[in-house]
Structure 1
Amino acid sequence: MLAILFPNIDPIAINLGTISIHWYGIAYVVGIILGTYIMQQLEERYKIAHLTSEDFDRIVIYIVIGIIVGGRMGEVIFYMPHLVINDFFEVFKIWHGGMSFHGGVIGIIVTIWMFSVKYKKYFLRVTDLIACAAPVGLFFGRIANFVNAELYGKRTEVAWGVIFPGTDFYPRHPSQLYEAFAEGILLLSIMLIVVKIENIRKYKGRISGVFLIFYSIFRIVIELFREPDAHIGYIMNIITLGQSLSIPMLILGTYLYLKRDYRQ
């Protein structure tokens, strides 16, 4: 049986003694920088959200806050609710790892709504613009998951199976790379094609709907190859928590795509 031994990658990229910079943190920074650049280029060309350069300086702060607060709170609420009782302050120790994508989405929705109200922008127009660049952050985040040898897949006999450290030494699907390709590269390609279609672009929220639909589908499918969280397992012995959280996103995305909210 062929297998690939996981490369010896130190999750800490730079160690300065008292301060350590992890690859995961670098992935977030790079994803936000590149994502912001893509949003600026798309906004300049298509005028999706009618944002100024000053708006971009502000919105990045709102996005970062939404990702960090929402992602961490989502991880605790959805995956580790015991922390609230056993060690409440662990909730705030984001450097210990643990960020939920679904929580991050909720966090961004809240902070971008606040941004839109404060600066008098159309909320769904802003989310449409963000949706176009979101796959960039997803790509780097999943690569960081692979570097950390976390969120790996189920046992497999495929030739590209990887033996991850700290496991039972059976080859497993590198599901992090599957997600990096589907949620990152493939979804970004879809979004860049969709944003060029005027019939979709003219309706507020449709681009956001496309993002939610395809992300949910990709996540639900790839979860079939991913090892469920050991402390959670399957819900009703049928679906994983990640799949169950993606279903409401799929429904919301379908609603946003089908509704007729003309772009003024």
Structure 2
Amino acid sequence: MMTYPDIDPVAIEIGPLAIRWYGLMYLAGFICAYAMIRRLTMPHKRLSLSSDTVADLLFACVLGVVLGGRLGYVLFYNASFYLEHPTKILSLWEGGMSFHGGLLGVIVAALWFCRKRQLPVASVADILVISSCFGLFFGRLGNFINGELWGRVSSVPWAMVFPGAGPLTRHPSQLYEAVLEGPVLLLILLVVYRANKAAGSVFFAFVSGYAGFRFVVEFFRQPDAHLGAVFAGMSMGQLLSLPMMLIGLAGIVWLNMRRPCER
């Protein structure tokens, strides 16, 4: 058994001001995402954007991921609780963000931004999903520090006891997701990007890749107590990921059959 590093969720506290690790993880993700977008949109790259345009695009996507992620969690995972405690919807520092809701929020924000600035949607989508791997990585680290979204009971050598999860050792499933959704998925997307496939291929590779990883990790992650198995033994995360995986694979096939080498 490994010892869970019981980290204070509050990183810095100055009087009534408390800065939490969860928020700092999101900030780190956004900073790295900005740096990646700038690198992939320099003048000599396939899609050239000014620094101001990148900043505006990222700001729109941040709003989309925060609003969509929070509303997705409220609606998909704990609607009954938030109907009884509506003020808790704004308590982002307590955790509770849905990737699937965040993805929908980013899609809406990016579509609006591309239409307003007359940018190619597919090429922008490819850039955004590559940069999003940083946010996913740091977000899962934030879950681990918060001691939330722990794994199922296990006796593997790296299992640990999480505060609030009882005396039994569990999979550190947050770290599994951090590695798979962060560096592993990023590497896959960069390979697809450099292969110069049709515009949008990286986006659909992200959709199918994330969904596949999430579907697998759900076997090691403890389902929400109030949800359990939602349908046919699947958790809510798996139920939401399965159609994503199919859509991503279908999108890749469709794009590369339509115009195999178009950017």
TM-score scaled to structure 1, two decimals? Answer: 0.93
Q: 1:109-142 deviations in whole A, cap 9, x for unaligned?
A: 0000110111111112111111111111111111
Deviation at residue 84 of structure 1 after TM alignment: 4.5
2:150 alignment partner in structure 1: 152
Instruction: After TM superposition, give the deviation of residue 95 of structure 1 in Å.
Output: 2.7
Identify the residue that residue 216 of structure 2 maps to in structure 1.
Answer: 221
The CA distance in 1 between the partners of 2:179 and 2:217, in whole Å, is 11
* Contact 2:95 2:143 survives alignment (8 Å): no
Post-superposition Cα deviations, 1:129-183, rounded to whole Å, max 9, x if no partner, equal: 1111111111111111111111111111111111111122111101011111111
Letter of the structure 2 residue corresponding to residue 236 of structure 1? F
Q: Match for 1:92: what amino acid?
A: L
**Secondary structure of 1:165's partner?**
coil
Runs of 4+ in 1 over 6 A off after TM superposition: none
The C-alpha deviation readout for 1:211-260, integer Å capped at 9, x for no partner, is 11111111000110111001110113510000111112112212321223
Which residue pairs with 2:31 in the alignment?
Answer: 33
1:189 aligned residue (180, 183, 187):
187
Three-state SS of the structure 2 residue aligned to 1:150 is: coil
Bigger shift: residues 212-221 or 34-43: 34-43
Separation (CA, whole Å) in 2 of partners of 1:150 and 1:158: 19
Return the match for 2:200 from 192, 198, 205: 205
- 1:250: which partner in 2? 245
Unmatched 5+ residue regions in structure 1? none
Q: Is contact 1:83-1:90 (8 Å) kept?
A: no
Q: Distance in 1 between matches of 2:214 and 2:58?
A: 26
CA distance in 2, matches of 1:210, 1:60: 21
**Which residue pairs with 1:43 in the alignment?**
41
Alignment-derived partner of residue 166 in structure 2: 168
Give the conservation status (yes or no) of the 8 Å contact 1:83–1:91: no
Separation of aligned partners in 2, 1:254 and 1:193? 16
Runs of 5+ consecutive residues of structure 2 not aligned to the other structure = none
Question: What is the distance in 2 between the residues matched to 1:128 and 1:45?
Answer: 17
**Which residue is 2:80 aligned to?**
82
Quote how far apart the aligned CAs of 1:19 are.
1.4
Instruction: Select the residue among 59, 63, 66 that pairs with 2:64.
Output: 66
CA contact (8 A) 1:48 1:128 kept: no
Once the two structures are superposed, what CA deviation does each residue of 1:44-103 show, in whole Å capped at 9, x if it has no partner? 277344322221021111011011100100010101111452122322332332111111
Change (3 A) 1:163 1:96: closer
Counterpart mapping for 1:73-152 below 5 A: 73-152=71-150
Q: Distance in 1 between matches of 2:88 and 2:165?
A: 25
Give the structure-2-normalised TM-score.
0.93
| Counterpart contact for 1:153–1:172, Cα < 8 Å | yes
1:239 paired to 2:239: no
SS in 1 for 2:131: helix
CA contact (8 A) 2:64 2:109 kept: yes
